[in-house]
Amino acid sequence: MNDKAVSEAVGFVLILGIVISGIGLVTLYGYPVLVKEQSNTDVKNMERAMIVIQNDMKSLCFKNVPYKETSLQVSGGTFEVINASQYGCFINVTNGTTLFQKNYTVGALTYRSDRGTAVTTLENGAVMIRQDGATGSAMLAEPRWFYDNSTDTLVIYIMNITTDTLMAKSGMTTVRMGLEGSETQSIPVAPGDNVTVEYTSSPSGDYSTAWENYLTGASVGMQRSALNSYYERNDVKTLVIKEYRIKIHDI
């Protein structure tokens, strides 16, 4: 082979240049993508963990289990428990008259992502997600409210979360929760009266869109009334409200 004009030094500089440019490109474009992907994975994992906690809460409420523990890994964000009295979210239920009208507070378990804007919340037995700074929200796992066609009964479940102190954590977490008590109310609804539910979201996060979609969906079948965040259902003979008090002992 003819080796004229082949310089080892020029070749080395060229190869080194290509390698350094490669590293530069990866740092510039690849790293943010990797971080975003990592943050998405953390949020997805937390969504699953929230659904697991929701199932545990269902066991406490519907299957006569007195106490539950769930271990989960909270990464890329903070997981907090907010007491019902401090959360500021209300569900007001009436049987269409002024004789029965009651406000229920709920409390929440919330995960906020550090790197992204996603916020996942377990509120009143529903797992919901929203993006911080944007309106709108979606329900990932629904609570178990239902309407029975055969007996014209509407059953509403309220899950009230209480804690002794505000708690927040990231890393390895064990949620210890127990059922404090439950109350069942059976309220007759006169013909022509509509059961009305009003949802007031917490100042810390607006989940009214998720609740609206759920309440006007097939399982509950309510209609949005003229007033904002009021939902009505006709043809109900009996309104049943079951309120559960769940205490989070520790996370």
In sequence order, the β-bridge partners of residue 11 are none
Q: Whose Cβ is closer to another protein: residue 141's or residue 216's? A: 141
Shortest distance, CB of residue 228 to another protein, whole angstroms? 27
Site size for another protein, by CB under 8 A?
20
Q: Whose Cβ is closer to another protein: residue 87's or residue 211's? A: 211
62 binds another protein (CB under 8 A): yes
Stretch that binds another protein, among 26-34, 95-103, 140-148, 173-181 (CB under 8 A): 140-148
DSSP class of residue 211 equals: H
| Binder among 100, 102, 131, 144 for another protein (CB under 8 A) | 144
Q: Name which of residues 169 to 208 contact another protein (CB under 8 A).
A: 184, 186
245 binds another protein (CB under 8 A): no
Q: Phi-psi bin for 133: left (phi > 0), alpha (psi -120 to 50), beta? A: left
* ∠ CA 110-116-122, rounded to 5°: 15
The four Cα atoms 230, 231, 232, 237 give a dihedral, to 10 degrees, of -110
146 binds another protein (CB under 8 A): yes
Ranges of beta strands (E only) in the chain are 67-82, 90-94, 101-105, 108-113, 118-123, 126-131, 137-141, 146-148, 153-162, 167-188, 195-200, 223-224, 230-233, 238-250
Stretch that binds another protein, among 65-73, 115-123, 151-159, 192-200 (CB under 8 A): 151-159
Stretch that binds another protein, among 11-19, 30-38, 146-154, 227-235 (CB under 8 A): 146-154
Reading the block at residue 165, the tokens are: 């102190």
Q: Name which of residues 203 to 232 contact another protein (CB under 8 A).
A: 219
151 binds another protein (CB under 8 A): yes
Locus of tokens 């979609």 = 213
| Binder among 48, 176, 224, 237 for another protein (CB under 8 A) | 48
Sign of the Cα pseudo-torsion (76, 164, 199, 150, in order): positive
Reading the block at residue 243, the tokens are: 């309120």
Listed in sequence order, the residues at least 6 apart from 125 whose beta carbon sits closer than 8 Å to its beta carbon are 54, 57, 58, 61, 143, 144, 157, 159
235 binds another protein (CB under 8 A): no
Q: Whose Cβ is closer to another protein: residue 144's or residue 249's? A: 144
* Cβ 159 vs Cβ 70: under 8 Å: no
Which among 96, 84, 121, 151 is positioned nearest to 211, based on CA atoms?
121
Stretch that binds another protein, among 26-34, 143-151, 167-175, 222-230 (CB under 8 A): 143-151
135 binds another protein (CB under 8 A): no
52 binds another protein (CB under 8 A): yes
Summarize as ranges the residues that interact with another protein (CB under 8 A): 48, 51-52, 55, 61-62, 64, 144-146, 148, 150-151, 153, 155, 184, 186, 219, 240, 242
